[in-house]
């Protein structure tokens, strides 16, 4: 789960990380009022969306008057901001963060991520801040500093000092840098975050180290014990297809294709996506219905898949172990009847109670195509989808 910049800064501030003063605004008038509270010559109006590269899209503006603030806020609010991270659909701006302007003398990059190879938190830092880590890696690979944190003892002060000195900071700034680095690590560790990124971390003209931008991501599986974090969720920034499914306990990831997938098990789901592509189709989603799926859960899965208006065919692929094929078949029949499903539907069942499941499908009298293997199922659903699409083009 991602959160907004201003929320990330509020959390980091609690762990001793220095952040600029600012306030949230939901209207141009409120943005002007927030700037007046800051009482500086300049302020920065920032669109709050779950994406980087906002500045390039016009989502970050330095303003020096009330009129400029109102104009910037009016332009941003209600607009879908399109960056290379959001895709062409963009993300809706429904709140702004008005922040005091900072006198920047130096920009740094500081990130904390979970390295699955190391099985530890890794600190990634660079003296070339202000741009994405991918760009830093491509343009200034020698500037990247990596430090692995031992989970048994956590981030130690000597590690933070080594990172700070490697960034080329003046000796007088080292204590501030150590405080910021250890504070970011504590936030990641104590809040069940999967990533903490401060980009840029700046040295101001007055000799302060400040987190000018911040991004935090959290492990959704740990939110049950972090209610204060789950309350920060902004569903307007999420894919509505994924939000619908995730709120109902389904593991769903939206893709760009036309063939919806309902599968049990992450590995089998990945194999199903591959087989659809090999057969000449494009999957519309990854959906793991989970173990022990009841007919009601299967029906919910169909609804989640059909929330995507691009879906034109559906493949159900179940290898039942904990699941039961008869439960899946009952759910499929119920979904076709209740949702009045007209698009091509191919079902492949294997495993526990497969004979009972096949019998339920065959005796339903519904237009459901069955398949014995995954390869056969993928070929059938792609062929039926292409046939249906060709007929629609002829009618048009």
Residue 242 designated active-site:
no
Q: Is 251 annotated as a binding residue?
A: no
Structure token pair of residue 198: 């401060």
C-alpha span between 270 and 264 (Å, rounded)? 10
- Beta strands of the chain (E only): which ranges? 22-25, 43-47, 60-63, 80-81, 91-92, 96-100, 104-115, 120-126, 144-149, 193-204, 209-211, 215-218, 251-254, 259-263, 285-288, 313-320, 345-351, 369-371
Q: Is 102 annotated as a binding residue?
A: yes
C-alpha span between 358 and 328 (Å, rounded)? 10
Catalytic residue, chosen from 197, 242, 312, 330, is 197
Q: Is 42 annotated as a binding residue?
A: no
Q: Is 264 annotated as a binding residue?
A: yes
Nearest to 304 by CA among 263, 252, 343, 257: 252
Q: Is 46 annotated as a binding residue?
A: yes
Distance, C-alpha 291 to centroid of its chain: 24
Structure token pair of residue 119: 């099985």
Residue 197 designated active-site:
yes
Structure token pair of residue 167: 């960034």
Catalytic residue, chosen from 5, 6, 97, 109, is 109
Binding residues for ATP: 46, 99, 102, 107
Binding residues for Mg(2+): 199, 213
Binding residues for substrate: 264
* Catalytic residue positions, numbered: 109, 197
């Amino acid at each position: 789960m991602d959160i907004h910049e201003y929320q990330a800064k509020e959390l980091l501030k609690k762990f001793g990380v220095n952040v600029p003063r600012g306030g949230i605004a939901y209207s141009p008038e409120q943005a002007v009022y927030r700037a007046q509270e800051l009482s500086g010559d300049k302020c920065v109006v920032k669109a709050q969306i779950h994406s980087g590269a906002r500045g390039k899209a016009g989502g970050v503006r330095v303003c020096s008057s009330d009129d400029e603030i109102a104009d910037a806020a009016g332009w941003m609010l209600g607009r879908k901001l399109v960056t290379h991270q959001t895709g062409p659909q963009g993300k809706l701006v429904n709140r702004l963060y008005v922040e005091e302007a900072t006198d920047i003398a130096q920009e740094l990059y500081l990130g904390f991520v979970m390295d699955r190879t190391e099985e530890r938190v890794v600190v990634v830092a660079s003296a070339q801040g202000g741009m994405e880590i991918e760009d830093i890696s491509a343009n200034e690979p020698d500037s990247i500093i990596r430090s692995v944190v031992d989970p048994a003892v956590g981030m130690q002060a000597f590690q933070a000092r080594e990172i700070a000195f490697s960034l080329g900071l003046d000796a007088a700034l080292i204590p501030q840098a150590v405080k910021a680095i250890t504070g970011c690590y504590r936030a990641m560790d104590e809040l069940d975050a999967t990533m903490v990124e401060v980009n840029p971390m700046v040295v101001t003209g007055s000799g302060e180290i400040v987190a000018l931008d911040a991004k935090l991501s959290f492990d959704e599986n740990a939110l049950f014990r972090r209610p204060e974090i789950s309350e920060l969720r902004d569903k307007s920034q999420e894919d509505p297809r994924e939000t619908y499914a995730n709120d109902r306990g389904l593991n769903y990831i939206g893709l760009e294709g036309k063939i919806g997938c309902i599968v049990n098990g992450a590995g089998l789901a990945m194999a199903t996506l591959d087989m659809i592509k090999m057969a000449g189709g494009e999957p519309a989603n990854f959906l793991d219905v989970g173990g022990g799926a009841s007919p009601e859960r299967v029906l919910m899965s169909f609804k989640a898949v059909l929330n995507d208006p691009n879906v034109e065919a559906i493949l159900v692929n179940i290898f039942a172990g904990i699941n039961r094929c008869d439960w899946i078949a009952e759910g499929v029949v119920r979904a076709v009847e209740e949702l009045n499903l007209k698009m091509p539907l191919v079902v492949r069942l294997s495993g526990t109670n497969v004979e009972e499941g096949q019998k339920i499908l065959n005796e339903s009298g519904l237009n459901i195509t069955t398949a014995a293997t995954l390869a056969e199922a993928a070929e059938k659903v792609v062929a039926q989808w292409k046939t249906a699409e060709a007929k629609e083009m002829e009618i048009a």
